[in-house]
Amino acid sequence: MVENRSSRWTSEEDELFRRMAEANTRPELIAAKLNRSVHAIKARAYTIGLPLKWFKLKAPSARKSRG
C-alpha cells in the first residue's frame, strides 16, 4: 500500500514523473514508483503543467476498420 506523504516534490521526482508520463506509464505505476497517491500524482501534473491526456486510458476498440 502507498503511504501518504506530506513532503515536497524534489526536482528528481519531477523529472522521473515527466519521463514516466511521456512514456504513457499508468498513473497507478507512477504513484507506486514515487511512493505517492494517484491523487497526488494528478495534483502535481496540474501544478507543473503536465497534460492530463495520459490519465485517460483508451478502451480497446471493439470495431475493426474496414478497408
Instruction: Tell me: pLDDT of 52 over 80.
Output: no
Alpha-carbon distance 13 to 34, whole Å? 7
Alpha-carbon distance 32 to 39, whole Å? 12
In a domain, 35, yes or no: yes
Instruction: Tell me: pLDDT of 62 over 80.
Output: no
pTM: 0.69
Structural domain that includes position 44: 11-55
Q: Which residue has the cell 519531477?
A: 14
Provide the residue type at 3 as one letter.
E
pLDDT digits (tens, 9 = 90+) for 1-51: 455 556 899 999 999 999 999 898 999 999 999 999 999 999 999 999 987
Q: Are 45 and 52 in contact (CB under 8 A)?
A: yes
pLDDT the model gives residue 7: 82
Domain count, the chain: 1
In a domain, 26, yes or no: yes
* Cα–Cα nearest to 56, from 32, 26, 11, 30: 26
